[in-house]
Amino acid sequence: MNNAPIAVFDSGQGGLSVWSELYRGLPHESLLYYGDGKNCPYGNQSKEQVTEYVDYAVRRMLEAGAKMVVIACNTATAAAIDYLRASYPVPFVGLEPAVKPAALTSRSGVIGILATAGSLKGHLFQTTAHKYADRVRIIEQVGEGFVELVENNQENSPEAYETVVRLLKPMLDAGADRIVLGCTHYPFLADTMRKVIGDRDVQLINPAPAIERRVASLLEQYALTADVDHKPEYTFMTSADDVYLARLIAKSEQAKALVSAGNAAIFR
Ligand code: DGL
């Protein structure tokens, strides 16, 4: 048993799509969220630079007592997960675009992958894509502009709609019936994407529920599960300023409710 927090890291607010699943599925676990708002977006930055940012954040989260770290950012995972696992003694959970469930369930034989440039270049994605390449046709698309729209609360704006139309059109025209949300910011655009998809038989694949199951199983495996009567604590941290942190918290209904009820700590 271990009542220390699980750390959830993202370049910004996107990791809240994973945080929400952990909050829902692991009600006894304390959660510590860190959004690197000062350095977001990561998507077009070098592997070395991203590794440096992530390393700094991970050190802060471990100093705060984290027992496990979820890198709720595909780009950060692609850049730094090997380094992190080799450098720190806690279990790490990383994210990579969910090619496998898309490839195994596609009926049209065409799947679309939306992710950042950094994730699509990474060896995790390249290896997985290669593995399924003879089963499905994979259409890769960098979600250019998506992270900025989400960070600026513009996911339901006309600009978001136009951007989604432009980026999804090639995969929809090619007959993709599965679209992988390979960046944790993208689930926040799911409503706009569904509008663009209309009545086509296309499923969006968000890996967050699978990540929650993975975390639950690793907690068991490492005997790190919190006590059933543990009252969880929720903490939100950022490298950016208080205005950013307030926006980050407002992004998640659950986080907002926790903070306004005085049930979450916030610090910079
Ligand atoms: N949310 C991140 C991901 O899953 C990265 C977004 C960014 O900073 O570009 O890839």
**Is the C-beta atom of 13 inside 6 A of ligand 1?**
no
- pLDDT of the residue at 256: 94
- pLDDT of the residue at 174: 98
CA of 178 to the centre of ligand 1 (A): 20
**Is the C-beta atom of 187 inside 6 A of ligand 1?**
no
**Alpha carbon of 250 to those of 26, 31, 34: distances in Å?**
21, 17, 15
Terminal Cα distance for the chain, rounded? 29
- pLDDT of the residue at 194: 98
- pLDDT of the residue at 263: 85
Which atom of ligand 1 sits closest to the CA of residue 44?
9
Structure-block tokens of residue 184: 């944790």
Q: Which residues pair with residue 259 across a beta bridge?
A: none
Do 123 and 155 contact (CB within 8 A), yes or no?
no
pLDDT (tens digit, 9 = 90+) per residue, 121-173?
999 999 999 999 999 999 999 999 999 999 999 999 999 999 999 999 999 99
CA of 17 to the centre of ligand 1 (A): 12
Which atom of ligand 1 sits closest to the CA of residue 119?
10
- pLDDT of the residue at 93: 98
Structure-block tokens of residue 35: 């959004």
Angle, in degrees to the nearest 10, between helices 74-87 and 123-132: 110
Q: Name the residues annotated as catalytic.
A: 73, 183
- Which residues, given as ranges, of the chain have pLDDT below 70? 268
**Is the C-beta atom of 40 inside 6 A of ligand 1?**
yes
CA of 185 to the centre of ligand 1 (A): 6
**Is the C-beta atom of 163 inside 6 A of ligand 1?**
no
Output the pTM of the full model: 0.97
Do 150 and 189 contact (CB within 8 A), yes or no?
yes
- pLDDT of the residue at 268: 56
User: Among 13, 22, 107, which Cα is nearest to 66's?
Assistant: 22
